[in-house]
Structure 1
Amino acid sequence: MRYDQGIKMDEEGWFSVTPEKIAVRHAVRCGGGVVIDGFTGVGGNAIQFATMCHPVIAIDIDPRKVALAFENAKIYGVEDHIDFIVGDFFQLAPYLKGDVVFLSPPWGGPAYLTQETFTLDLLKPKNGYSLFQVAQSIAPNVIMYLPRNVDLLQVEELSWLSSPPLKVEIEENMLHGRLKSITAYFGDIAFSELSMFEL
């Protein structure tokens, strides 16, 4: 992140923004077309999608976060490639269509680490199953960025919610030799069942 160039964060952003190298990886993997970022926060992922020339619709219910995301996008010079929307992802979903939906919903703050296994019902503002079904109504491909202690069997189960079941790839994101997070790719952007991305 270009902190020395004026990147702006709120308190939640400091612990919830996707590390830039992981966000770049998401952008490279998403293929082409329109990306809908359902919980954009301060814009870390939306900026990387736009940097890779993907048109992006960046949504967040918090107007302060959207304002920060816009300012951060200006620092990267990609603000013209992102449509920023203040709104509720679930209320907007019936009006959205895209090629990829990116979901990095709130994990409940740093307390997620106190869970031995993070289950999909702990995601906010709705459980992971509901999130995934809404995303499927918008786009044929879904990327979910999840805690490192997420229940992987539940993540795999998400692929069975569609008919026929979607391909799924679960990627372990390693940062400085430690497991940082999990990314699940669903649809044609999935390569294999389990992979690892080391930073």
Structure 2
Amino acid sequence: MDEEGWFSVTPEEIAIRHAERSGGGCVIDCFSGVGGNTIQFAKMCHHVVAIDIDPHKVELAFNNAKIYGVADYIDFIIGDFFQLASSLKGDIAFLAPPWGGPAYKTIPNFSLDLLKPKDGYSLFQAAQAITPNIIMFLPRNVDLRQVEELSWLSSPPLNIEIEENYVQNHLKGITAYFGGTAFGKLDL
């Protein structure tokens, strides 16, 4: 782990929940970072394509996957998700984009426009080029109306389920499940 990895990695309990809800198949982890979610998806016997633009993060994720014994289930790619999205195929796209560092907590109503490297609408649209089955991990203070709007802007509109994620009784984030991942309806 590097310094940024310590505050940006998804807490393990939440990453396990994401993997349990994914239902199987090939998961595209669009912003894999140091591999917290990637590892949990791989532990559930999924094939994972882990993408990050930072070669150092990919190196850390690969090392972490080896420690967990799941590196053989993962294809690591150094690259820009937006440039790769149109050529990717998978059953689920997992979006846990950078939230802008720990300062996100000071924003009362976190807008999807604040996500990095592009706004949440652009992220979601790029993921839809892969699959309508999208899991999106977002800050606990995200504007839920905007998250729901993502499903309405799809054609046809996607099912959506929003889940609050707690660790030791503290709200840590919000997960939005779209398409077949909502309400556990994914058939692979």
**TM-score (ref. length: structure 2):** 0.96
Partner residue of 1:126 out of 108, 118, 121: 118
The equivalent of 1:141 in structure 2 is 133
The equivalent of 2:150 in structure 1 is 158
Query: Which of 1 and 2 has higher RCO (CA within 8 Å, sep 6+)?
Result: 2
Partner residue of 1:51 out of 22, 36, 43: 43
Identity of aligned residues (%): 76
After TM superposition, what 4+ stretches of structure 1 lie above 4 angstroms from structure 2?
none
The equivalent of 2:71 in structure 1 is 79
**TM-score (ref. length: structure 1):** 0.91
Q: CA offsets, 1:104-145, max 9 Å, x none?
A: 000000000110010000000000000001101101200000
Q: Give how far 1:178 is off.
A: 1.6
Answer yes or no: is the 8 Å Cα contact 2:32–2:38 preserved in 1: yes
| RMSD of aligned residue pairs (Cα, Å) | 0.9
5+ long unaligned stretches in structure 1? 1-8, 193-199
Q: Give how far 1:28 is off.
A: 0.5
Residue 27 (structure 2) pairs with residue 38 (structure 1) = no
Q: CA offsets, 1:32-65, max 9 Å, x none?
A: 2110000000000000000000100000000000
Alignment-mate amino acid for residue 177 of structure 2: Y
Answer yes or no: is the 8 Å Cα contact 1:148–1:181 preserved in 2: yes
Aligned pairs, number: 184
**Separation in structure 2 between the aligned mates of residue 93 and residue 188 of structure 1, nearest angstrom:** 19
The equivalent of 1:5 in structure 2 is none
Answer yes or no: is the 8 Å Cα contact 1:173–1:182 preserved in 2: yes
Residues 172-181 or 57-66, more deviating: 172-181
